[in-house]
Every structure is written in structure tokens, then in C-alpha cells.
Amino acid sequence: MTPRPFRLHVEEKALDDLRERLARTRFPDAMPGAPWETGADLDWMRGLVDHWQNRFDWRAQEARLNAFDQYKVPIAGIDLHYLHVAGQGDAPLPLLLSHGWPGSVFEFLDLIPMLTDPERFGGDPADAFTVVAPSLPGYGLSFAANQPRFSVEQIADVFAQLMSDVLGYPRFATQGGDWGAFISSRIGLAHPDKAIGVHLNLLPVRRDLAPNADPSPAERQYLAELKHWLAEETGYSLQQGTRPQTLAYALNDSPTGLAAWIAEKFRAWSDCDGDVESVFTKDEILADVSLYWFTGAIGSSFWPYYARVHGGWPIPLGQTVDVPMGYCEFPAEILHPPRRLAEQTFTDIRRWSVMAKGGHFAAMEQPEALAAEIRAFYRPLRAGQDPASHTAGRR
């Protein structure tokens, strides 16, 4: 398992092909109802496709990613892609940063420097991390056609192996949202000897966990949120979790369809008050969509949903994550499980922060606030760690 340096470069013919496909888009008509009520708004999508075809600069996005040290390593039957960004200072803490769906490592490009060099952003240099941010197996640059598929449980094992066996970090910090929260929590469950702690910006609590017989106001609010979520917002996950192959034909063939499928989630799950471009630029959205397009990874990115539907929740009923846990609750996150419910899964909650602004894509929406929370949670956990183990990583 010898890592090799990697730089992203998409061939020009792939860019030409994308522009030609976008020019031939056959748009649907607009369904009755208010804009966005039935899905991605037609007028907004026309503008996004026009921008993608005529003004979007993919080479600039490549350059943003290539500004960070990247590698690929053969592991578990695939070529796993990851960023490995050295922290400043004498003993930066190794941190595994895991993204989710429909995200990618592009989510972390603003956040990573705030973690590796906090002094540059007004923080304490003693809080520095060395960041390892892999592309999830089956996602983006960790995908090749016909490779093995991975459940969350398997991804957690692969990432633990990457950190300890490949990079030489016997113990490390973890952080994640979306699937990254599940992966980080699973590492805390399955590899507690390796996980210094688990920091999350989404709570992966089982949906069949019941509040007390006399639910608190927060628990009643959560039950109402969950009822709405299951009734109105889970169509994507049901399709991805039951018939991912069928959906893959459409989204792997139509860049406009792919953009609509992903961009609608950036709007629905962010703290944007209905105006997605108040939080994300078109370029930020299209950088993520383009990575799925150029790698052909959208179908394989569905597999964790299929594995969960057919294999169960990554934190089995009755099992608990016992390593230190920290959580920051962003107001526009999709669900807000109350602490009393979270304590049924996480037995050692050290930090629980309610944030002023932000949503599901916290690393993009509020990188400064998220970085501050990660640093604050891990600050007391650094005590007692062997500084030598923090610098033992092998690229």
C-alpha cells in the first residue's frame, strides 16, 4: 500500500463533450405550483446550465484542488484518493475529515487551511491539525468503473486502515457530516483504540429510537421534523437505496439531470431561506457536480444508501459509541435530534453547541464557525497524546 502523488486533470475532450451535451439539453415544462415546490426550478436550472456551458471555469476548480497535496493508494481493492495536508507547528493532531452525499472533497477547501494553520486565521497554533480528507470509496476520484462497492461500515474500516496502516497515525481525530458523520461514528464504535474522538455536524441516531413517554418540547419538535422528513424529503434516498442502477442511467447520461438532482439538495439543505445563491455561488455548486460528472461516479455514490436499506443502520441497535463526542447543531440541518435521544447512542458527549447560522453543508456554509468548534472540542483531548505519533505519517 504505497501512496503515489496525484493531480487532477480532466482531458479537454471531456470538457468539450460536456458543453455539447449541455447545449442539447431537452428541458421539461414547469409543473404547477410555486418555484421549487415540486423540485428544481425550471428558470433557475436554465440559468445554471447556461452558466455551466458558457462561463464556468473547470480549470480554476482543478487548480483550487491541486493546491493541496493529494495522493492515491491501493487499498481494499480500489485506488483510494485523499488529500493529506500537513499542519503547522510542532505536533499537529491528525484529523480524518469525511464528506458525504452529494458532497465531495471540494466541500473542505476553505475549511482545511483553518484547521492546518489556525494562527493564520487568528487562532492558536497549538490547535493545528494535519488533515486527511479522502474521497469516499465510490465517490469522485476514489471511483473506477466496476470496482467493489462499499457500505458505511466498510468505508469506516478502510479509513481506519488508511490512517493507521498507510499513514502511520496509530490514533487520530475524526470529523464529519452527512455520511461522514456515520463514518466517524462507526470508527468510534468499531475502532475505539484508534479514535481520539468523534466530532459531528449531523447526528446519525437511529430513527426508531423513541423519546421518553413524556417527551420534552425539543423531542416533540424532533418528532414533527422527522415525520415531515419521512413524508416529503426522502424520495431521493428511497430511490438511491432501492433502485440505484435505474437512476444511474439517467444521471450518468444527462449532465443537466445530474445538476438538478444535486443542486436541489444544496438549496433544500442549506441555510439559504430559499435563495441558494445567497449561500453558494454557481461555481461552487458546479465544481461539486462536475466532479461527479467527469468521474462518472454518481451511480456508485448511491451504494451506501442501498447497503443501509438492505443491511441495517451502521450503529446497531443496543450498541453505543463510547469515545468522546462533540456535536454542533446548525439551525438549517435536516433534523435536530435532542440530546437526550443522542445519549442513547453516544455515551460520552463532551461538547454540544447550538450554532447561530448554517445548514447541512457546514464546511462550505460556515467554515470559520465549524473550524472553531472542531478546535475547541479537540483542545482538551490533545492532553496525554504522544506528540511523536502525530508526525509519524507516511505519505
Whole-Å CA distances, 140 to 99, 232, 291, 339: 11, 28, 6, 34
Set 117, 127, 178, 288: catalytic member? 178
Name the E strands within 76-231.
78-85, 93-98, 129-134, 172-176, 195-200
Residues 231-285 have pLDDT tens digits of 999 999 999 999 999 999 999 999 999 999 999 999 999 999 999 999 999 999 9
392: pLDDT strictly greater than 70: no
Cell of residue 291, nine digits: 466532479
Helix (H) or strand (E) holding 61: helix 58-66
The fold for domain 4-390 equals Rossmann fold (3.40.50)
Residues 140-179 have pLDDT tens digits of 999 999 999 999 999 999 999 999 999 999 999 999 999 9
Question: CA 376 to CA 53: how far, in whole Å?
Answer: 43
Question: CA 134 to CA 136: how far, in whole Å?
Answer: 6
Q: What pLDDT shows up at residue 236? A: 96
Output DSSP code: residue 346. Answer: B
315: pLDDT strictly greater than 50: yes
Name the E strands within the chain.
4-5, 70-75, 78-85, 93-98, 129-134, 172-176, 195-200, 325-329, 349-354
SS3 of residue 158 by DSSP: helix
Cβ 23 vs Cβ 156: under 8 Å: no
Share of the chain above pLDDT 70, in %: 96
Q: What pLDDT shows up at residue 352? A: 98
Q: Is 178 considered catalytic here?
A: yes
Share of the chain above pLDDT 90, in %: 91
288: pLDDT strictly greater than 70: yes
Question: CA 135 to CA 292: how far, in whole Å?
Answer: 11
Closest CA to 250 of 306, 302, 285: 302
Cβ 118 vs Cβ 127: under 8 Å: yes
Of the listed ranges 13-17, 275-279, 346-350, 390-394, the least confidently predicted one is: 390-394
Set 82, 305, 327, 378: catalytic member? 305
Question: CA 362 to CA 180: how far, in whole Å?
Answer: 12
Mean pLDDT across the chain:
95
Q: Are strands 78-85 and 349-354 parallel, antiparallel or unpaired?
A: unpaired
Output DSSP code: residue 328. Answer: E
Whole-Å CA distances, 17 to 20, 250, 263, 286: 5, 17, 21, 16
Residues 61-77 have pLDDT tens digits of 999 999 999 999 999 99
Output DSSP code: residue 321. Answer: B
390: pLDDT strictly greater than 80: no
φ and ψ at 134, to 5 degrees?
A: -80, 150
Set 169, 360, 378, 390: catalytic member? 360
Q: What pLDDT shows up at residue 393? A: 47
Question: Which residues make beta-bridge pairs with 72?
Answer: 4, 81
Specify the pTM. 0.95
Q: Is 249 considered catalytic here?
A: no
